[in-house]
Amino acid sequence: MSSRPIDEDGFHSIAWDDAPQSRAGAAISPSSPFDEDVGEGFETISQPTSETLESGVGASTSTGTVTGLNRRERQGSVEVDPGEWNGRWMSIEVREPVKEHEGSKDMYVSYAVKTQTNLPTFPNKVAVVRRRFQDFVFLREHLVKNFPACVVPPIPDKHRLEYIKGDRFGPEFIERRRLDLQRFADRVARHPTLQRSQLVNDFLQSTEWTVAKHHHISHPPPESHLSLMDSLSDRFINAFSSVRKPDERFVEMLEGLDRFDEGLNSVERLVGRGKTRVDDLSVDYQDMAAAYQGLGYLESGITEPLNRFAEKMLDFSALLKHMNQSTVEPFLIQSHSLQAYAASHRNVIKLRDQKQLDFEELSAYLSAIVSERDRLAALNSGHSAAPVGLGTYLRDQVDKLRGTDDIHTRRERIRKLDGKIKELQDAVTTAHETSTAFSDEVLKEHRVFELSKKEEMKEILQTYADGQVEMLQRAMDDWDRIIPLLQRIRVDV
111 close to 94: Cβ distance less than 8 angstroms? yes
Instruction: Give 412-468 pLDDT, tens digit per residue.
Output: 888 888 888 888 899 899 989 999 999 999 999 999 999 999 989 999 999 999 999
Under DSSP, the state recorded for 231 is G
pLDDT of 134 above 60: yes
The rounded mean pLDDT for the chain is 76
Instruction: Give 467-485 pLDDT, tens digit per residue.
Output: 999 999 999 998 888 888 7
Q: What is the mean pLDDT of residues 49-61?
A: 38
336 close to 412: Cβ distance less than 8 angstroms? no
- Gap between the Cα atoms of 425 and 432, Å rounded: 11
- Gap between the Cα atoms of 117 and 30, Å rounded: 12
Higher pLDDT pick, 306 / 182: 182
Residue type, 239: A
**pTM listed for this prediction:** 0.73
Q: What is the CA radius of gyration of the chain?
A: 32
With 0-12 CB in 10 A as exposed, 13-18 as middle and 19+ as buried, what is 237? middle
Instruction: Give 156-167 pLDDT, tens digit per residue.
Output: 765 454 444 556
Domain 1-224 is classified in which CATH homologous superfamily? Answer: Phox-like domain (3.30.1520.10)
Contacts with 475 (C-beta within 8 Å, 6 or more apart), sequence order: 316, 319
138 close to 213: Cβ distance less than 8 angstroms? yes
